[in-house]
Amino acid sequence: PLNLNPDSEWSGAFKDNEQLIQIDKDCRRLCPDLSFFQQATDFPCEDLVSATSNVETLRKRVEHCVLQSETVARNRMGIYFNITVKKRSASDEYALLPDGKEAHWEVVERILFLYAKLNPGLGYVQGMNEILGPIYYTFATDSDQECRKHAEADSFFCFTGLMGEIRDFFIKTLDDSQCGIGSKMNQLMDMVKEYDRPLWQRLQDQELRPQFYAFRWITLLLSQEFQLPEVLRIWDSLFSDPNRFDYLISVCCAMLL
> Using one digit for the tens of pLDDT, what is the confidence trace for 124-160?
999 999 999 999 999 999 999 999 999 999 999 999 9
pLDDT at 157: 96
Q: What is the pTM (predicted TM-score) of this model?
A: 0.81
Domain ranges of the chain: 1-163, 171-257
Residue 68 has pLDDT above 80, yes or no: no
Contact 44, 100 (CB under 8 A): yes
pLDDT at 1: 54
pLDDT at 7: 63
**pLDDT: is 203 or 50 the higher one?**
203
At 245, phi and psi to the nearest 5?
-80, -25
**pLDDT: is 5 or 72 the higher one?**
5
pLDDT at 236: 95
**pLDDT: is 4 or 249 the higher one?**
249
Q: 56-65, 139-148, 184-193, 244-253: which has the minimum mean pLDDT?
A: 56-65
Residue 91 has pLDDT above 50, yes or no: no
- Taking each helix axis as running N to C, give the angle between helix 128-140 and helix 9-28, from 0 to 180 degrees, rounded to the nearest 10: 60
Residue 79 has pLDDT above 70, yes or no: no
**pLDDT: is 48 or 239 the higher one?**
239
d(CA 132, CA 105): 11
If pLDDT is split at 50, 70 and 90, which confidence band does 69 have?
Answer: very low
d(CA 170, CA 40): 31
**Average confidence score pLDDT of the chain:** 83
If pLDDT is split at 50, 70 and 90, which confidence band does 90 have?
Answer: very low
76 by Cβ neighbours in 10 Å (0-12 / 13-18 / 19+) ranks as exposed
If pLDDT is split at 50, 70 and 90, which confidence band does 8 have?
Answer: low
**pLDDT: is 249 or 169 the higher one?**
249
Which residue(s) pair with 69 in the sheet?
A: 85
